[in-house]
Chains A and B, each alone.
Chain A
Amino acid sequence: MDNRPGDVVRVLAATGMLGSGFPEATIERGLELGADVISVDGGSTDSGPYYLGSASSKSTAQAVKRDLRHLLRASARANIPLIVGSCGTSGTDKGVDWVAGIVADVMREEGIDLKVARIYSEQDAAHLKDDVAAGRVRALAPAGELDSETLESCTHIVGVMGHEPIVEALQGGAQVVLAGRATDTAVAAAYPLMKGMPAGPTWHAAKIVECGGLCTTNPREGGVLATIDATGFSIEPLSPDAACTPISVAAHMLYETVNPFEMREPDGTLDVRDAVYTAVDDRVVRVEGSRFHVADQYTIKLEGARISGFETVSFSAVRDPIILGQIDAWAGFLRETIIGRVRQTLELEPSEYAFDIRLYGHNAVLDELEPESAPPREVGVMLLVNAGDQATATAVAKVANPLMLHLPAHDMDYLPSLAFPYSPAEIERGPAYEFVLNHAVDTTPTKLFRTKMGEASYV
């Protein structure tokens, strides 16, 4: 691999999410500008606990393969590393193997032969229980103390790695690194840190590029290139139709962060309070003054999800203005009647199952926070049932079905018929999941992670 003098490192971020697509020209432009490494995030918790809980990918294999084909070709052609983080959306071991399988397919099809490292980040509840017992697990706000039952209830637990396991894999000779769950920033920070770039500008640049083109004036167009050096970094878009401005770059520190000035990484905290954003020209922004404070204790954040029940959903709709004029009262009557009929028919008490009635077009999104009260023209009535098993959830929804078809308003002395949009009305959603861990373990940079080099044995 090309080991140029470490005066600058250029990081090519093609897209915010592997599998979301990018124009081929993005990569060409990044290589022309002298990219030293390609980094791409393969996951997030943003779409909910299902992907971790079930260890399945949000993106399709076809979409991930398409993106990887272009990235692997570029990596091979320019002889630069390709780093993929949070493989398979949630970074489970299965997700890493899934991406590794796709990488192997693409390399075989393209006649490319690059050394691949897989870094696994799944955690064993039994080991974590020892950490809890030894006082090595901290609760992060707003979570409470962690107990053994919660750990045991998780279907999957991952540790969110920093840059160190990725650096170790690169130093071990890997050109393609497929990481399990990693911080969004570690994926882009690993190579510049390995090349001796300063931590403040590197972590800040990594945060700015983690969503690809989102830090530009045209977020839907292609990715960005960050050039990191001893005193700061500069950032430019890879699409000719996009620009980076001091505002577009600075504003990205706000995105999906609680605190816009500080961001915690496993080994310390990025501090951008004194960062200065300057326009180099009308497309490129220079950033200086970012700092990184190394923490006294190295910590790895945990993510875990468990099954919260099994769900069945049903959907009907109301257009009759008589019902719409008293829609809240009607929904209350629906709720009461469902509870009564379920007790009568299934002999279940409300504590044995749960359901949510959402009035789309009225207040479904904000619920009791909804400030408007104008009468709606039509309302979609969604019933979401959660129970300990699928059959019970569906049974409750089926008991509700005639009510969602015929329930009158209080003052109607006839039975209306409401509008089901399809039949049968019930859709089984399977297991539903919830995130239950929001904790960090006092540990070392690499202890919780396992790296395997070379072809996966299952291929």
Chain B
Amino acid sequence: MSETLAEGRTLADLAIEVRSKNAGPFWVTMELFMRDSEGYAIVADESFINEQVVSGLYGVDARSIQIFRIPSLNVVKVSFPRPISQGSLRDRDIHAGQHHVPLARMRVLGE
């Protein structure tokens, strides 16, 4: 996965994998699997990825967002209630498997 645009690296560029998936019918969860501790330090920085930022990317209430930072795996995990219930008329991604993209294309700051 590479979505490098004009300038600066995206989180996808620094990650082994960025993925999203349902966690049951009413939640979606996504993970940034970073390549190394340097990449992890960037995404684990609470001023870079936090509830407000995720709220802006996905249009969900910041108070409903859970973020887990797991240094032993170089992983940041984000979970929130599905804004559109699974299988409903407006659900275009039944497994929520393509909803990592807004997160994955975030640009690294200061590059």
**1/0 contact string of B56-75 vs chain A (CB within 8 Å):** 01110000101010101101
Chain B residue with the shortest CB-CB distance to A276: B72
Chain A residues near B21: list those with CB within 8 A: 255-256
Contact present for A259 and B102 (CB under 8 Å)? no
A78 interface contact, C-beta 8 A? no
Chain B residue with the shortest CB-CB distance to A308: B88
On whether A141 and B98 interact (CB within 8 A), knowing A254-B75, A256-B23, A258-B27, the answer reads no
Contact present for B29 and A434 (CB under 8 Å)? no
Chain B residues near A250: list those with CB within 8 A: 72-73
Q: How near does chain B come to A294, taking the closest CB pair, in angstroms? A: 23
Number of A-B contacts (CB under 8 A): 103
On whether A384 and B70 interact (CB within 8 A), knowing A256-B23, A256-B29, A438-B25, the answer reads no
On whether A254 and B66 interact (CB within 8 A), knowing A366-B99, A371-B102, A435-B85, the answer reads no
- Give the distance in Å from the alpha carbon of A140 to the alpha carbon of B24 in the complex: 12
Contact present for B102 and A260 (CB under 8 Å)? no
A5 interface contact, C-beta 8 A? no
Chain A: residues with Cβ within 8 Å of the partner, total of 43
User: For window 419-441 of chain A, which residues contact chain B by CB distance below 8 Å?
Assistant: 432-435, 438
Q: How near does chain B come to A234, taking the closest CB pair, in angstroms? A: 19
Q: Chain B: interface residue count, which band?
A: 35 or more
Chain A residues near B33: list those with CB within 8 A: 251
Contact present for B86 and A435 (CB under 8 Å)? yes
- Give the distance in Å from the alpha carbon of A143 to the alpha carbon of B26 in the complex: 9
A1 interface contact, C-beta 8 A? no
- Give the distance in Å from the alpha carbon of A256 to the alpha carbon of B27 in the complex: 9
Contact present for A258 and B23 (CB under 8 Å)? yes
Chain A residues near B70: list those with CB within 8 A: 254, 260
Contact present for A365 and B93 (CB under 8 Å)? yes
Chain A residues near B86: list those with CB within 8 A: 45, 48-49, 435
Which A residues have a C-beta under 8 Å from some C-beta of B? 45-50, 140-143, 247, 250-251, 254-261, 303, 308-309, 311, 354-356, 358, 364-369, 371, 384, 386, 432-435, 438
29 contacts between A and B (CB under 8 A): A45-B22, A46-B95, A47-B95, A48-B94, A49-B25, A250-B73, A251-B75, A254-B29, A254-B73, A255-B21, A256-B22, A257-B23, A258-B66, A258-B79, A259-B68, A260-B77, A303-B25, A355-B89, A365-B93, A366-B92, A366-B101, A366-B102, A369-B58, A369-B59, A369-B99, A371-B102, A386-B89, A438-B25, A438-B26
